[in-house]
Structure 1
Amino acid sequence: MVSVEKAFELIMQNTLSLKVESIPFQKALGHILAEDLVADRNFPPFDRVTMDGIAIDFKAYKNGRRKFKIQEMQAAGDEQITLSSDQSCIEIMTGGVLPKNTDTVIRYEDVEIVDGMAEILVDIKQGQNIHLEGVDKKQGELVLKQGTKINASHIALAASLGKENLNVYVLPKIAIISSGDELVDVTDQPLPHQIRKSNVYAIETILKKVNAEITHFHIADDLENSVEKIKELLKEFSVLIFSGGVSMGKKDFIPEALAQNSVIEVFHKISQKPGKPMWFGKTDKNLVFALPGNPVSTYLCTLRYVLPFLEKSLGTNKGEFQKVILGENIVFKPKLSYFLQVKIINENGAFYAFPLKHNGSGDFISLINADGFVELPNSENDYFEKGKIVNFFAI
């Protein structure tokens, strides 16, 4: 067996070198940005008015003037006009360019306009209601880093930068393969000795966080059939993720079938609970994760190893895990790393983890009540004290 830390290190040494494609910015939602975006001009590109009202030269107000003759109006989208006298003002609309020779904007709500004269009714400050040119970003400055998962605000940003197309990473085709003669499809009515497939859908849903392109397959518990099916999958998919068939049972043929297809074993079994039987291997063109078939084990191993592997390949994984605080004392005697299902409670901004009762790694129903797993590292001490800070993996 390898330790959790060693297993993670070995996996991360084999991250993918991904292709990049250019796609229309409107279709980039959920993709991972493969380039830095920089400001092509100042943002905002001019002194921008943020309220409908009047623009004045503050010096006149400072010298006691409260009534200003309306010279003209400037709307958003109009070219900048010039205030001809500090005894006058210009009506200005939100989003418009601040008129030349003005430096302060007063809301309509704070003025009274009668017979072409605008009277200021409140105390004002110089420079108010103006979004200054370049205060958000200067031309040439970085606005969005490579490795960012693109959301709606990033789409709007790309449009404002004139980026008609964005370079994004292309994840490899991923096959998720269930194993086990006891499994039937979701639409089937299982016999008393059968269960419906669910692990593959849990894996797929977790990996959708990185917009992975996934296809499902099933392999019967037969060595010859497993060898042939894996041979086909290795030709078509860069990443294979198995669920089941990797433990010590007489029907667990996946490791042997992979070996017969020249997939090199990097490790088999991790000193952890749940998820101990996990297998990881590779060829020159493929990476293979073979996860235990128990649902909680599958879920945990996907969160702890497979998702971070894909995130690092995309440049979105910073190498740090979320941290939480143990909310109560925990005793765990086996010399293994222990991944415990927990509920998270926010107490004044601090996140505390409290263990949940469950019926082992086959109890996938228990996951619906969990916020995630905490990692209690393997150590000589079997006592984990309340208040200890530990890694957390959110469901």
Structure 2
Amino acid sequence: MISVAEARSRVLAALSPLPAELVGLTEALGRVTAEDVTARLTQPPVSMSAMDGYAVRCADVAQVPAKLRRIGEAPAGNAFKGHVGPGEAVRIFTGAPMPDGADAVVMQEDTESDGATVTVLRTVGRHRHVRLAGIDFRRGEVGIPAGRMLTARDVGLAAAMNWPWLRVRRRPRVAILATGDEIVLPGEPLGPDQIVSSNAFALAGLITACGGVPVNLGVALDTPESLARLVTGAERADILVTSGGASAGEYDLVRGVLGDRGMDLDFYKIAMRPGKPLMFGRLGDVPVLGLPGNPVSSQVCAVLFLRPALRRLLGLPAEEETRRTAVLGRPVKQNDQREDYLRASLSIGPDGELVANPFESQDSSLLTVLARADCLVVRPPFAPAASAGDTVEFLPLGGGVLSL
């Protein structure tokens, strides 16, 4: 068995970012930039008023009250064409270009006007209530770096920078193949020795959330012929993920069938709990990640290996969801030789500290426990027993207090 760290390193070393493609701005949300997005213009292009009021020379209102002659008006989108000289003011509205000669704006509530004359009641400094040209961004500046998963805010910035389309990484196509005679789909008739399939649906959800495109190949029966037939659907995938059929049992056929088809096996078995029977190799040009069939083990391994693999394919930087620390809310036992990932909830303690509370039962068949978990508390090999209040590391799963 190899360590989790070594296994993950091998998986990531075998992958590289996918090619780029152009998408329209309306399709860019959640995509990953393949190159820097630079401003195609300066924003604002000229200095503009940030308030409704009067454009003035600050020297003219250094002492108040100050009476100024109104010489014109500047609504948004229609600049005043003249020049503001000593003792003059221009009625201006938010977003209107600042007239030549003016260097500040007095808010209208700080003035009195009889039409031709404006009385300023409060002094303003230079550039007060003025948005200077280029204060947001200037032409050629990088607004969005390469390798960023675009948020709605990023899309808005790209639009403001005058980009109707963006170059992004192609979404990874991930083929999902579940195995087992005992598996039936949700809603199908259930025999006495069968279980309802959940792995493919959980994996598809994780893949979608990480920016990939799941391709469900179906459920292969425990025969070489069935498995070989369905695996052909992965020929154009960027990665094949199998669920089940990879351990040492008589009916666990994935390694054998894929090996017969030319799979180059990199490793098999990880020193971790849950998820010991994890496999990685390459079938032609397609990387293969073989997850355990146990639903909890499958999902934990997907978090540890599939999620970072998808990030690598998308050209994202190193895993953002690195290990964090919390204090234990309850004691845990000494660990053995396998790195353990305890399902736990998170809460905020009385002193504002983050508290990880491992669930009492860590049985790897309990999907309800995993669904309620906010994180995986990491217990290194041979870690000694820990008490409530001790500091531990954890991997976030999302939700709970971390979503606040």
For the criterion TM > 0.5, the same-fold answer is: yes
- For 1:106, the equivalent position in structure 2 comes to 106
**Letter aligned with residue 19 of structure 1:** P
TM-aligned CA deviation for residue 349 of structure 1: 6.0
- For 2:228, the equivalent position in structure 1 comes to 227
**Letter aligned with residue 229 of structure 1:** L
Cα shift readout 1:100-154 (whole Å, capped 9, x = no counterpart) = 1111112223323223333333453432211222223333221111111122222
CA distance in 1, matches of 2:132, 2:386: 54
RMSD of the alignment, in Å? 2.1
Q: Identity across aligned pairs (percent)?
A: 25
- For 1:345, the equivalent position in structure 2 comes to 347
Number of matched pairs? 393
- For 1:48, the equivalent position in structure 2 comes to 48
CA distance in 2, matches of 1:222, 1:324: 45
**Contact 2:76/2:94, CA 8 A, preserved across alignment:** yes
Q: Aligned in 2, Cα 1:46/1:129: closer, same or farther, shift over 3 Å?
A: same
CA distance in 2, matches of 1:133, 1:116: 30
Matched, 1:358 2:361: yes
SS of equivalent residue, structure 1 residue 8: helix
Q: Aligned in 2, Cα 1:194/1:109: closer, same or farther, shift over 3 Å?
A: farther
- For 2:147, the equivalent position in structure 1 comes to 147
- For 1:34, the equivalent position in structure 2 comes to 34
CA distance in 1, matches of 2:223, 2:368: 29
Cα shift readout 1:140-179 (whole Å, capped 9, x = no counterpart) = 2211111111222222222222222211111332111111
Matched, 1:370 2:373: yes
**Contact 2:179/2:221, CA 8 A, preserved across alignment:** yes
Cα shift readout 1:312-369 (whole Å, capped 9, x = no counterpart) = 2222232451412232443233111110111122356643322123351110011222
Q: Aligned in 2, Cα 1:128/1:205: closer, same or farther, shift over 3 Å?
A: same
SS of equivalent residue, structure 1 residue 44: coil
**Contact 1:83/1:89, CA 8 A, preserved across alignment:** no
Cα shift readout 1:31-61 (whole Å, capped 9, x = no counterpart) = 1111101122333222122111111100011
**Letter aligned with residue 309 of structure 2:** F
- In the TM superposition, 1:1-395 aligns within 5 A as 1-79=1-79, 81-216=81-216, 217-230=218-231, 232-319=232-319, 321-328=322-329, 329-347=331-349, 350-378=353-381, 380-384=382-386, 386-395=389-398
Unmatched segments (≥5 aa) in structure 2:
399-404
Q: Aligned in 2, Cα 1:350/1:35: closer, same or farther, shift over 3 Å?
A: farther
SS of equivalent residue, structure 1 residue 331: coil
CA distance in 1, matches of 2:132, 2:110: 22
Q: TM-score, normalised by structure 2?
A: 0.91
**Contact 1:54/1:108, CA 8 A, preserved across alignment:** yes
Q: TM-score, normalised by structure 1?
A: 0.93
Unmatched segments (≥5 aa) in structure 1:
none
**Letter aligned with residue 334 of structure 2:** F
**Contact 2:79/2:98, CA 8 A, preserved across alignment:** no
**Letter aligned with residue 191 of structure 1:** G
Runs of 4+ in 1 over 6 A off after TM superposition: none
Cα shift readout 1:173-217 (whole Å, capped 9, x = no counterpart) = 211111122221223242343222211111111111232111112
SS of equivalent residue, structure 1 residue 270: coil
Q: Aligned in 2, Cα 1:369/1:172: closer, same or farther, shift over 3 Å?
A: closer
